[in-house]
Amino acid sequence: MVFSNSVETLGQAYLIPYKKNSKNFAEIRKQAIQLSIAEGISTKKYPNRLKASWGAVSVSFNKKKNLSELKENWKNEFQNFKNDGYRIGSEKPSITKQGELNFQINLSDDIDYVFATPVKPELTEYPTIERVAEAIIESKPTYDTYVKENYSNGIRVSSDERLIELIK
């Protein structure tokens, strides 16, 4: 999955709430680190980090809420962060230098923020859906299961019906 500022058809995902409401930055950072561990950004060798050479945990804050203290603390976590590799071609990077998602997410009033994990694409242009299917087939059994499970659970990306058809 790639986060992009140049696609016309947006994807669809589910937001999963944390079990515990967190209002202070230390608790929110702890949540972000848990995601970082799950995604392989934070490891035993590099513990408690939110960014790696290939990807980062980023955040999108609800624009309707005053979360200035949280935003400032998050920004401090991303000092000296280089975001220019988080794009393909000349599009805007999917993450800002402050570690925030660089595209619009409309959050409902009961959600303060969401995390996502953009990675640096190793492409110079977006692949065709046929090339994506080819790569998934080559990776079996890993990514075909991932894609099919996402699809069956309502997680949508551009051209996913065609992709499912091609990898069957």
| C-beta of residue 144 within 8 angstroms of C-beta of residue 132 | no
The residue ranges of every structural domain in the chain are 25-116, 129-167
Peptide bond between residue 141 and the one before it cis (omega within 30 degrees of 0): yes
Find residue 114's DSSP bridge partners: 60
pLDDT tens digits, 5-20: 777 777 777 788 887 8
Tell me which DSSP letter residue 46 carries.
S
Q: pTM for the complete prediction?
A: 0.82
Asked whether 86 and 94 are in contact (CB, 8 A), the reply is yes
For a pLDDT cut of 90, what percent of the chain falls above it? 51
pLDDT tens for 127-148 read 888 998 898 888 877 778 888 8
Model pLDDT for residues 31-68, shown as the tens digit of each residue:
999 999 999 999 999 999 999 999 999 999 999 999 99
pLDDT at 1: 60
Q: What is the phi-psi region of residue 40: left when phi exceeds 0, alpha when psi lies from -120 to 50, beta otherwise?
A: left
% of the chain surpassing 70 pLDDT? 99
Q: Are 12 and 154 in contact (CB under 8 A)?
A: yes
How much is the average pLDDT of 57-82? 94
Judge whether residue 2 has pLDDT over 70: no
- Give, for 99, the enclosing helix (H) or strand (E): none
pLDDT at 47: 96
